[in-house]
Structure 1
Amino acid sequence: MPAPIHRIAIVGTGAIATAHAAAMRAAGRRARLVSVVDLEPGRARAFAAEHDVPSVYPSLAELLAHEDVDLVHLCTPPRQHTPLAIECLDAGVSVLVEKPPALSLAEMDALVAAERRSSAHVATVFQHRFGAAAVRLRALTEAGRLGRPLLATCATLWYRDDDYFAVPWRGSWDSEGGGPTMGHGIHQFDLLLSVLGPWREIRALAAKRARAVHTEDVSMALVTFAGGAVATVVNSVLSPRETSSLRFDYEHATVEVEHLYGYTDDDWTVTPAPGHEDVLSRWPGGAPSSPSSHDHQLTAVLDALDRGDPPPVTSADARNTMEFVTALYASAFTGQPVRSGEITAENPFYRRMDGTGAPWAVVAR
């Protein structure tokens, strides 16, 4: 039986929407981009013409009223992610939402509740989970083939100048929910969390050093995992030599990746511990190399929808990463360690990532 054809719409036709359209083309006959939505009609029409999309709508409500779609890709600015995703779920339409899926744990829990009352599903775009090397590393870790994970480092060191933050919705707690912790490093430490499993405690700092923003422009954290591993996490938009890197030190090997916005197998290295050279045979060289990309996540999403399963990355997966972000800010702004599960509805950081306010906001007044 041939695989079903999924009718898909994109909401928001900014830069990242191009990657989503490309992923649909890569999916072949399984995915058909039938509609786009954008508040700017000219931009929507131009995008539709470029990608051969038959219909354009000015709002998600009109799209859902007039089109029969199976999946909506949300590519809007972050503030709109949760309300639009809930609108899709309430209409019984599954949704793939760009990161971050919500601006707070409160919003994330509202999204989880909407999924529970719907027949549809929500997934978050964390495409770094889907490269072949990451899939292999998780399998080896779960099987204990590399020994126990002991130590990890995770760095997202990027450079964004003042012109980048001139876009009105950037650099604001209200519109982005945070700075590089929320909007840039989240891809890297989501991959870290997917490999090392549940985190237990975080101690952090965040600072505003150079950019004219309301949020932080750099953050750092020390993390303890339930399995015993410890990790450092650094997120920056102040770093002229840009890099994204992860290093995992296991009992029997060090596994590392360095890239910028996406990796292939060639970006990974494995260094065995003395006496454990056989580890290299568990990381096959010359294997087909699928990169981290929207293409491979969309394939996984379509596979899940074909089976009737919740697509990856599930709302539970995304909530774990969002709780990590929340805890990082809470620790940074209170000066106290924060444990998993500690931020409940009564905590000020539950409803806003800046909680009672960033320290530099107090200084500014």
Structure 2
Amino acid sequence: MAKIMKVALVGLGIGQAHIERGYAQNRDILEVAVLCDLDRQRLAQCAERFGVERTTTSYDEVLAMPDIDIVDLCTPPMAHLEMILKALKAGKHVICEKPLVGSLADLDLVMAAEREASARLMPIFQYRFGDGALKAKRIIEAGLAGKPYVATVETHWRREADYYDVAWRGKWATELGGVLMTHAIHQHDMLTFLMGPVARLFGRTATRVNPIEVEDCVSASLLMENGALATLSATLGCAEEISRVRLCYENVTFESNHEAYNPGEDPWRILPARPEIGEQIDALLAGWEPVGNRYIGQFRQFYEALQSGGPLPVTTEDARRSLELVTAFYHSSETGQDVLLPLDASHPKYQSWRPA
């Protein structure tokens, strides 16, 4: 029988979705044993709703619990750095929502702590874990797609005043960014997951929809390392919410479904350029086993990696690639210049991507 690992869920906003769409389907291997939140009313309501007996408002108390194997951090972004470092020092494995931290300097600090720790850290990029995205990944990695040409990524969502009634949202100091950081980050991760690293970026950001500090509209032109060209756009002012990833290769065109919050899942349009390519794709995907959608698949693969000592399904290197893109985006928008990637400690925004 598989060992059941015990989880402390910290932060009961998005944390409730982790239970409903991840832990509830993985009860054979993962048990949410403790809930932690500063809001006592929400804590009590969630404990009753999900049948969790242990609750606390103290993160330090969570870290002192000897039976807890994993802490799942679903707190506001500005709290992540200290909480990650404390958990790794306490020997607890960590799952952490995006954005992992607030700068490349902070991320490098986390990565150094991770190398010294006995525990492991997995950032959340749950949109990768859909059968549509992973079928595309398999086709590309098998070489059937051929030469990459262009890609487009659209994150067209809607957020109005009620969304920003939450005190920490819409502010640089607490949310750490706007649509680029909090909403489009998953679709942009899907682009690099499928098409590889970005080599050069020119981007623009603007605040046009809401009276907030951070941006709510962005666009960018990218040159990928593989030579392909990509365009990104995101807004929080779209009447119809969609997420769309479209990748054009020599032999195949891929297009995600348009569900705003689940673009990685089937059905994807996979359009072969010639009948024989279609036949090869059918043969490659024959007997496909579903991976477990979003948190379901990511949490299960995390558990399997912890048990085997194998590679994590999402790594801090993946998070760094994502935050390099964010950093380059903000820098390009401020300076009106192309930005070359990857970025290191010599970059002007290494310590912070917030506006000068």
TM-score using structure 2 length: 0.94
In 1, distance between residues paired with 2:181 and 2:9? Answer: 23
C-alpha displacement at 1:278, in angstroms? 3.1
CA deviations over 1:235-285 (Å, ceiling 9, x no partner): 211111110000010101111012211146543111222464435525758
Task: Please identify, of 319-328 and 346-355, the stretch whose mean Cα deviation from structure 2 is larger.
Answer: 346-355
Task: Please identify, of 179-188 and 125-134, the stretch whose mean Cα deviation from structure 2 is larger.
Answer: 125-134
| Kept in 1: contact 2:128–2:264 (CA 8 A) | no
- Aligned-partner SS, 1:267: coil
Give, as a single letter, the amino acid of the residue that structure 1 aligns with 2:351. Answer: R
Structure 2 counterparts to residues 153-302 of structure 1, below 5 A: 153-257=152-256, 258-263=258-263, 265-274=265-274, 276-278=277-279, 281=282, 284=285, 289-290=290-291, 292-302=293-303
Identity %: 35
Give, as a single letter, the amino acid of the residue that structure 1 aligns with 2:335. Answer: T
In 1, distance between residues paired with 2:127 and 2:283? Answer: 21
In 2, distance between residues paired with 1:163 and 1:49? Answer: 27
| Kept in 2: contact 1:249–1:255 (CA 8 A) | yes
Corresponding residue for residue 16 of structure 2 = 18
Corresponding residue for residue 310 of structure 2 = 309
| Kept in 2: contact 1:11–1:76 (CA 8 A) | yes
Corresponding residue for residue 362 of structure 1 = none
C-alpha displacement at 1:291, in angstroms? 5.8
C-alpha displacement at 1:107, in angstroms? 1.6
In 2, distance between residues paired with 1:166 and 1:103? Answer: 22
Q: Gapped runs of 5+ residues in structure 2? A: none
- Aligned-partner SS, 1:316: helix
Corresponding residue for residue 350 of structure 1 = 350
| Kept in 2: contact 1:11–1:38 (CA 8 A) | yes
Structure 2 counterparts to residues 69-108 of structure 1, below 5 A: 69-108=68-107
Give, as a single letter, the amino acid of the residue that structure 2 aligns with 1:179. Answer: G
In 1, distance between residues paired with 2:163 and 2:91? Answer: 36
- Aligned-partner SS, 2:146: coil
| Kept in 2: contact 1:132–1:265 (CA 8 A) | yes
Task: Please identify, of 212-221 and 39-48, the stretch whose mean Cα deviation from structure 2 is larger.
Answer: 39-48
Corresponding residue for residue 361 of structure 1 = none
1:129 has 2:124 as partner: no
Corresponding residue for residue 338 of structure 2 = 337
CA deviations over 1:202-255 (Å, ceiling 9, x no partner): 111111112111111111111111111111111211111110000010101111
Q: Gapped runs of 5+ residues in structure 1? A: 357-365
CA deviations over 1:32-70 (Å, ceiling 9, x no partner): 111111111221122112111121111211111134211
Give, as a single letter, the amino acid of the residue that structure 2 aligns with 1:324. Answer: L
In 2, distance between residues paired with 1:151 and 1:128? Answer: 21
| Kept in 2: contact 1:173–1:353 (CA 8 A) | no
| Kept in 2: contact 1:122–1:310 (CA 8 A) | no
CA deviations over 1:101-131 (Å, ceiling 9, x no partner): 1121122112111111111111111011111
Return closer, same or farther for 1:70/1:164 CA change in 2, 3 Å cut-off.
same
CA deviations over 1:165-186 (Å, ceiling 9, x no partner): 1211111111111110000000
Corresponding residue for residue 35 of structure 2 = 36
| Kept in 2: contact 1:211–1:217 (CA 8 A) | yes
C-alpha displacement at 1:310, in angstroms? 4.6
TM-score using structure 1 length: 0.92
Return closer, same or farther for 1:134/1:39 CA change in 2, 3 Å cut-off.
same
- Aligned-partner SS, 1:259: coil
In 2, distance between residues paired with 1:291 and 1:5? Answer: 18
C-alpha displacement at 1:132, in angstroms? 1.8
In 2, distance between residues paired with 1:285 and 1:310? Answer: 26
In 1, distance between residues paired with 2:296 and 2:330? Answer: 32
Return closer, same or farther for 1:349/1:282 CA change in 2, 3 Å cut-off.
farther
Give, as a single letter, the amino acid of the residue that structure 1 aligns with 2:39. Answer: E
Give, as a single letter, the amino acid of the residue that structure 2 aligns with 1:249. Answer: C
Corresponding residue for residue 49 of structure 1 = 48
| Kept in 1: contact 2:203–2:333 (CA 8 A) | yes
C-alpha displacement at 1:77, in angstroms? 0.9
Return closer, same or farther for 1:10/1:187 CA change in 2, 3 Å cut-off.
same
In 2, distance between residues paired with 1:47 and 1:253? Answer: 46
In 2, distance between residues paired with 1:76 and 1:245? Answer: 27
CA deviations over 1:118-151 (Å, ceiling 9, x no partner): 1111111101111122222112212211112211
C-alpha displacement at 1:288, in angstroms? 5.2
In 2, distance between residues paired with 1:181 and 1:198? Answer: 17
Aligned residue pair count: 353
| Kept in 2: contact 1:9–1:73 (CA 8 A) | yes
- Aligned-partner SS, 2:7: strand
C-alpha displacement at 1:30, in angstroms? 0.7
- Aligned-partner SS, 2:350: helix
| Kept in 2: contact 1:202–1:338 (CA 8 A) | yes
In 2, distance between residues paired with 1:265 and 1:17? Answer: 21
